[in-house]
């Protein structure tokens, strides 16, 4: 009697668990990822510059200090003269030529953090390297 050898049927690889896991991974990455680009503004280390800005910056650098005042609605004044935000850097560079070596940013009541950040990031690109925020 001839008995045919039992051929084990090849099982097809099941896709369902794989797809389940991929779906879960997709969900995780969709929910946890962010697409906003963040940046950070260094606020400096604790020094006495923050305690008495005018005094220390003049004594440290031997140059004049520029006062940048931020009024409500983000209006900027450099040493008392109103300046448009886009012209701030060129104005500061001109003052650098005239011997200014430090910037002191004085936010007035009514100016918000957005105004402060806009001014600080611009002053960082100017040639005057010592920037401090008065408090």
Partner 1 sequence: MQLAKRKKKPKADASLPLINIVFLLLLFFLVAGQVSEKLRDDIEPPLSTLLEKGQPPQKGVFISSTGDVFFNSIRISAIDVATMSRADAGATKARCLAKCPIRIIADHRLEAVTLTKLLKKIRQGGAKDLMLVTVKGTKQ
Judged by the rule CB under 8 A, the positions of this chain that interact with partner 1 are: 12, 15, 18-19, 22-23, 25-26, 29-30, 32-46, 50, 70, 107-118, 121-122, 124-125, 133-135
List of residues 6+ apart from 85 with CB closer than 8 A: 74, 76, 118, 119, 122
- 64-71 and 75-78 beta bridge pairing: antiparallel
Question: At closest approach, how far in Å is the CB of 52 from partner 1?
Answer: 13
Between 63 and 74, whose beta carbon lies closer to partner 1? 74
Closest approach, Cβ 32 to partner 1, in A, equals: 5
For residues 97 and 64, the answer to whether their CB atoms sit within 8 Å is: no
**Of 50, 46, 68, which Cα lies nearest the Cα of 126?**
68
Name the residue nearer to partner 1 (CB basis): 19 or 98.
19
Q: Which is nearer to partner 1, 70 or 130 (CB)?
A: 70
Min separation Cβ 99 and partner 1, Å: 25
Which run of H or of E encompasses 130? strand 130-133
């Amino acid at each position: 009697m001839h008995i045919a050898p039992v051929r084990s049927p090849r099982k097809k690889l099941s896709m369902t668990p794989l797809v389940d896991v991929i779906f879960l991974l997709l969900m995780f990455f969709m929910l946890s990822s962010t697409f906003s680009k963040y940046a950070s503004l260094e606020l400096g280390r604790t020094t006495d510059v923050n305690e008495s800005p005018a005094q220390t910056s003049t004594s440290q650098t031997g140059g004049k200090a520029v006062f940048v005042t931020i009024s409500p609605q983000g209006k900027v004044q450099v040493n008392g003269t109103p300046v448009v935000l886009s012209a701030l850097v060129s104005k500061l560079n001109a003052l650098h030529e005239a011997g200014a070596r430090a910037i002191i940013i004085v936010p007035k009541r009514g100016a918000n953090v957005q105004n402060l950040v806009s001014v600080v990031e611009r002053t960082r690109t100017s040639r005057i390297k010592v920037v401090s925020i008065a408090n």
